[in-house]
Structure 1
Amino acid sequence: MTTVHEVITYDGARTSGVLRTVPDATTACVLMHPRQDFTHHVLVPELLSRGYAVWTQSTRGGLNDMSLLHEQALLDMAAGHCFLRDVGFANVVSVGHSGGGALAAYYIEQAELEPADRFPATPGGKPVPLADSEMPIPDGLMLMAPHPGQGLLLERMIDPSVINEDDPMSVDPDLDPYDPHNGFRPAPDWSEYSSDFVHAYRAAQHARVARIDERARAAIDHARAARRRSIESGDARDRRASLASGIITMYRSDADLRCVDRSLDPNDRPYGSLFGSRPDLTNYGVVGFGRQTTPEAWLSTWSSISSRAGLVRCAAGVTVPTLLVEVTGDQACFPADAANMAEAFAGDVTHTRVRGKHFGAALSADEPTAATSAGSAMGLWLAGQFPSSS
């Protein structure tokens, strides 16, 4: 049976979710992502076929992540967890795929804290009532191909050769990842970057994020100063300025060296990135992470420096049993990432590997999909955790 529900968060936002149930299911699996619609996620049929209900929920921003604040997304997730407890499921298990992994870990970390110890505001300073919201703790966490978190992933993919944030074609040739002089080879040949170039490149990636952080904080400070003036003066011009924090446009974020150089953190991945087989081209297009955001959203979600939604950081506060399914052909969660994640969780962790690609496809046509293999691993793990529900 499939039913659609609207849930209202503690701070009054409205989000929607789809509940799919099968006969006698007493365990519900929660699939949620901060910026994607998981209604038709590849794991939905896998979990249903193994006897588990599935709840897929959107955040208040839906597919528009320009103003995405992870701390508000936690309130959205809390409303979904409250709904599932209220309708009577004995067990609720959070399921994180890709960026949903860091969101789920962040939620559980905050839910396991005493309310007074939860973050009172976003990294940009916007108050968020996590301390006042009911945040039910799930009974377990399952992860498939979880990347390190939106901000940490973006730092790996951001192109540090941009020398003018207002010019999408500006390039520092010494840092250009797609210049043959730096080791790039066009597809289908794999590139070969020197260790010196990799070191300089990654330092420059971090430095570019730091510069955008400075820009975001300056915009927020300017708007807040105008807000204070408007309270004192009542001047409509100050009130307008307080609302005009602007939009950050960030060019070129499909430039992770590992997507074209398989010798860096090797696994079974094919040539190319999450966005396509020619990152040297898509890097210059409109598709990519964090391309347009509010200053608040940049700091909360896309900054590797300021965002708190890093999976490894959050995992230290997650004590519920966890299943980590590493996908061997992943282009966002690499072997070293998965090992660090498994080590970081405070509770019991089962770490397993399945062949496939990041979004759940098979590596070749003659083998099972990653989604099917992950679903099998999840079914076995759930049966062991909740034997009465299987």
Structure 2
Amino acid sequence: MLITHPASNFLGHYALRDLAALGVASVGLATRYVGNDTTLIMENCVLDIAAAIGHLRGLGYERVVLVGNSGGGGLAALYQSQAERPDLTSTPAGDPPDLTAADLPPADALVLAMAHPGRAQVYTEALDAAIVDETTPFTRDAELDMFAEKNGPPYTADFLARYRQAQIERNRRITRWVLRQLAALADRSHPASSPDGPTPDDLPFVVHGTAADPRFLDPAVDPSRRKLTTLWGPAWAANFQPATLGHVTSLRSWLSQWSYDHSRANAPRCLPKVSVPVQVIYGDADCAAFPSHARQMYDAIRHGDKELVEIKGADHYFQGRPDLAQEMCRRIVDWARQ
């Protein structure tokens, strides 16, 4: 079992000991972007998974199961789709790598555990739609403010439809700005022999309001047994505190990692290309990866060798419930052996 995530340090993943106790060799992967996703390029993470699977094959392992956990779900699906049917010749910004020319040994099976469909999707579902000026997060559209009492919770179907569309449009608005900035950088380029040296080909920027999913406040939206909170605490504070998801990124990383239209690490788009068995496992008390996410990924698999598993009472990290983490590992191992 190889457990992966784009940026988290999985070298000490909580499932490793439980999987080993069940007689399965298991390893966690830390990509080159471990602990810092500000310049993360998903296509480079694909190469890192390839190196790990290639190493395991070299050690003599005949069967390798790729486990995408949490944000690793979209990445694992992208990897397996490219290993089976490579078609990406560059990043969304037009940079290397060319995955059609890379050595991408396919995994024998895929597990999407406590996973969401991809960083760009879950990020867009949490973008604060009320922010109308990227430089002033408290200049807000009152009609699209999920934190305004007049709008809910509970939220009406009409508000949710308008809110979700506004989230996508905000993501696309940022993407259009990113593309203009990259074009401007290209126009400013000059040779390394210049007194000032070469012009940078990337720049950082800040995105405010990244923890504003209505599911964080309204239990009727995507019903489950979850607590009404985020992985970083109450939604209003988490929405603005610097340490939450994707507050700082670079232009090129935005396109590869966070852009709703450009990021390729999207499980529902990748899974139709996957031919190996796939297991989707989710917890019904998870406040980060929701039941609809699991169903969306499961439904995207076109073949019949698939399984959807619910772990009742499990939150995203199995906090205080090591027995449920063990149950998840048992379900993975039993399925993989079958």
| TM-score range for the pair, normalised by the shorter chain length | over 0.9
Say which structure is richer in strand: 1
1:320 pairs with one of 276, 279, 287 = 276
Mapping for residues 324-343 of structure 1, pairs under 5 Å: 324-343=280-299
SS in 1 for 2:140: coil
Aligned counterparts of 1:35 and 1:155: Cα–Cα separation in 2: 18
| Aligned-residue offset at 1:129 | 2.8
CA contact (8 A) 2:109 2:277 kept: yes
| Aligned-residue offset at 1:221 | 1.3
Question: Which residue matches 1:82?
Answer: 54
1:211 pairs with one of 153, 160, 173 = 173
1:274 pairs with one of 231, 251, 259 = 231
| Aligned-residue offset at 1:244 | 5.3
Aligned counterparts of 1:295 and 1:283: Cα–Cα separation in 2: 21
Q: Aligned partner of 1:204: which letter?
A: A
Question: Which residue matches 1:250?
Answer: 207
User: 247-256 or 169-178: which moved more?
Assistant: 169-178
Question: Which residue matches 1:64?
Answer: 36
Deviation string 1:345-364 (CA, Å, 9 cap, x unpaired) is 134111111123442316xx
2:335 pairs with one of 381, 385, 388 = 381
User: 198-207 or 165-174: which moved more?
Assistant: 165-174
1:361 pairs with one of 315, 318, 326 = 318
CA contact (8 A) 2:206 2:248 kept: yes
SS in 2 for 1:248: strand
Question: Which residue matches 2:151?
Answer: 182
CA contact (8 A) 2:67 2:110 kept: yes
| Aligned-residue offset at 1:182 | 1.2
Root mean square deviation of aligned Cα: 1.8
CA contact (8 A) 1:31 1:38 kept: yes
CA contact (8 A) 1:222 1:245 kept: no
CA contact (8 A) 2:186 2:201 kept: no
Q: Which runs of 5+ in 1 are unaligned?
A: 1-28, 184-190, 385-390
Deviation string 1:249-275 (CA, Å, 9 cap, x unpaired) is 101101100111010110111111222
Question: Which residue matches 2:134?
Answer: 165
- The answer to whether structure 1 residue 155 and structure 2 residue 155 are counterparts is no
Q: Aligned partner of 1:223: which letter?
A: L
Deviation string 1:34-60 (CA, Å, 9 cap, x unpaired) is 010012212111211100111212111
Identity %: 30
Larger radius of gyration: 1
| Aligned-residue offset at 1:337 | 2.1
CA contact (8 A) 2:287 2:316 kept: no
1:371 pairs with one of 314, 325, 329 = 325
Question: Which residue matches 1:134?
Answer: 103
TM-score (norm 2): 0.95
Q: Aligned partner of 2:174: which letter?
A: I
CA contact (8 A) 2:283 2:316 kept: no
Question: Which residue matches 1:302?
Answer: 258
TM-score (norm 1): 0.82
Shift of the 75–372 alpha-carbon distance from structure 1 to 2, 3 Å rule, reads same
CA contact (8 A) 2:74 2:267 kept: yes
Q: Which structure is richer in relative contact order (CA contacts within 8 A, separation 6 or more)?
A: 2
Aligned counterparts of 2:317 and 2:240: Cα–Cα separation in 1: 26
Aligned counterparts of 1:377 and 1:236: Cα–Cα separation in 2: 61
Aligned counterparts of 1:63 and 1:258: Cα–Cα separation in 2: 27
SS in 2 for 1:296: helix
Shift of the 331–311 alpha-carbon distance from structure 1 to 2, 3 Å rule, reads same
2:249 pairs with one of 275, 290, 293 = 293
Deviation string 1:272-305 (CA, Å, 9 cap, x unpaired) is 12222x1122212112211111111001001112
SS in 1 for 2:312: strand
Mapping for residues 25-104 of structure 1, pairs under 5 Å: 29-104=1-76
Shift of the 96–353 alpha-carbon distance from structure 1 to 2, 3 Å rule, reads same
Deviation string 1:51-93 (CA, Å, 9 cap, x unpaired) is 0111212111221111100001101110111100001111111
Q: Which runs of 5+ in 2 are unaligned?
A: none
Aligned counterparts of 1:109 and 1:353: Cα–Cα separation in 2: 25
